[in-house]
Amino acid sequence: MEKIQMTTPLVEMDGDEMTRIVWKMIKDELLLPFIDLKTEYYDLGLEYRNETNDQVTFDSAEATKKYGVAVKCATITPNAARMDEYDLKEMWKSPNGTIRAILDGTVFRAPIVVKGIEPYVGNWKKPITIARHAYGDVYKGVEMKVPGKGKAELVFTAEDGTEMRETIHDFDGEGIVQGMHNLNDSITSFAKSCFNYALETKQDLWFSTKDTISKKYDHTFKDIFQDIYDAEYADKFEAAGIEYFYTLIDDAVARVVRSDGGYIWACKNYDGDVMSDMIATAFGSLSMMTSVLVSPEGNYEYEAAHGTVQRHYYKYLNGEETSTNPIATIFAWSGALRKRGDLDGIEDLKVFADKLEEACIKTIEKGEMTGDLYLISTLENKKKLNTEEFIKAIRNTLDELMQ
């Protein structure tokens, strides 16, 4: 069989621990035999980030702007324990945070639905995609512990020196305060990414905030979405037969639980963080969740939603058997390859991406799966495989599909 040729490289961001091991297995077993894989490689493993003073993370994000499509392995976000473990020069920031700040995008996360892994919410039939704004709010918050009696104020000083001032609270005793911000430009690109993604995937778009309580902050989100929708998207949505609707976040939660799925739910940064874990868990597992960062300029970064699976890695280092689920990481690759095929007009690459995903789903539906799925699958003939055996089983299914 001739290998599929690529014209533009993918930006490949390698990562840490168990997912780094799985990353190589996926390339060797599922990609390189079929594709003349072109990538521009960036090693975001913690050791090399430390060696380059994190420059490699910045470079990889810039490369994503240049080429348009990246695929990322899970990476360690250092904490105090990692400082010692890796003898770090500094507690480097989360690579995902750095990349998001450079690309300024929206993260779309959707569960991978397979037979045998039934959602806890019985009426969910189709995936629910969470669109998470990836800038600002509490993630760029400034906080203070108030030591005692006194007044906390919100002050804005314009360039010409004029001031706006609001009292936050007159404290009688100890307390806490927090200041956070967002930018109309970022909210605008969040809105556009959501509207575009809804059109691209032909799904309704829901958006929710708490604008009844947050009459300026959250209300600005609501207004920006509505203005952009009315001016640029209403006609396109109608033509595509899809709907945009806004509702309060607590109402949205109730509707989501009663729905049968099949739409995009746009959330502010914090809501999206929390709700995507809820949706993933309710659909079965974080290891069955795709994640893509879409920037307003149309750059795409595909990754898995879970972390580096540290506990499995230590078992692996001890020579013990592991059963780590590679599905979300494989779907990061298939998503990136499909997008590359799309942008470069390479039909074979798109077909391959579809078949790779089909092979994953078919293998699990045949009853071959990793331990995390084995625990929750309702299939009767299920079998628990180790990491390598499972990837080999997917390869067998893929070989059949590629004939």
The footprint of ligand NAP (CB under 6 A) covers 74-77, 96, 286-287, 303, 306-311, 324-325, 372
Q: Show the site string, 261-300: x = touches Mg ion by CB under 5 A, - = not.
A: ------------x---x-----------------------
Q: From the CB of 372, what's the least distance to ligand NAP, in Å?
A: 4
Please give the helix or strand (H or E) that residue 272 lies within, else none. helix 269-283
Please give the helix or strand (H or E) that residue 84 lies within, else none. helix 80-85
Interior angle at CA 86, CA 84 and CA 91, nearest 5: 75
Q: From the CB of 167, what's the least distance to ligand NAP, in Å?
A: 38
- 96 touches which of ligand NAP, Mg ion, none (CB within 5 to 8 A by kind)? ligand NAP
Q: From the CB of 308, what's the least distance to ligand NAP, in Å?
A: 4
* Closest CB to Mg ion: residue number: 273
Q: From the CB of 287, what's the least distance to ligand NAP, in Å?
A: 4
Whole-number Å distance between alpha carbons of 188 and 310: 37
Whole-number Å distance between alpha carbons of 264 and 108: 8
- Please say which residue, 47 or 260, places its beta carbon nearer to ligand NAP: 47
The token duo for 50 is 């430390």
- Please say which residue, 76 or 198, places its beta carbon nearer to ligand NAP: 76
- Please say which residue, 78 or 341, places its beta carbon nearer to Mg ion: 78
Q: From the CB of 93, what's the least distance to ligand NAP, in Å?
A: 11
- 365 touches which of ligand NAP, Mg ion, none (CB within 5 to 8 A by kind)? none
- 273 touches which of ligand NAP, Mg ion, none (CB within 5 to 8 A by kind)? Mg ion
Whole-number Å distance between alpha carbons of 282 and 288: 11
Q: Does residue 14 interact with Mg ion by CB under 5 A?
A: no
Q: From the CB of 301, what's the least distance to Mg ion, in Å?
A: 17
Counting residues that bind Mg ion (by CB under 5 A) gives 2
- 290 touches which of Mg ion, ligand NAP, none (CB within 5 to 8 A by kind)? none
The token duo for 368 is 């071959």
Q: From the CB of 19, what's the least distance to ligand NAP, in Å?
A: 7
Cα→Cα distances 374→33, 127, 138, 365, Å = 28, 21, 37, 11
For 141, residues 6+ apart whose C-beta sits below 8 A from its C-beta are 178, 179, 180
3-state secondary structure of 70: strand
- 311 touches which of ligand NAP, Mg ion, none (CB within 5 to 8 A by kind)? ligand NAP
Residue 73 carries which side chain, given as an amino acid letter? C
Give the phi and the psi of residue 175 in degrees, each rounded to 5.
Answer: -175, -160
Q: For residues 369 and 390, is the Cβ–Cβ distance under 8 A? A: yes
Q: From the CB of 22, what's the least distance to ligand NAP, in Å?
A: 8
- Please say which residue, 77 or 214, places its beta carbon nearer to ligand NAP: 77
H helices within 156-248, ranges in order?
184-201, 217-228, 234-240
- 308 touches which of Mg ion, ligand NAP, none (CB within 5 to 8 A by kind)? ligand NAP
Nearest CA among 94, 98, 45, 42 for reference residue 71: 42
DSSP result, 41-101 = EEE-SHHHHHHTTTHHHHHHHHHHHHHSEEEE-------HHHHHHTT-SS-PPPHHHHHHH
- Please say which residue, 12 or 218, places its beta carbon nearer to ligand NAP: 12
* Closest CB to ligand NAP: residue number: 307
Whole-number Å distance between alpha carbons of 22 and 327: 10
Where along the sequence are the contacts to Mg ion (CB under 5 A)?
273, 277
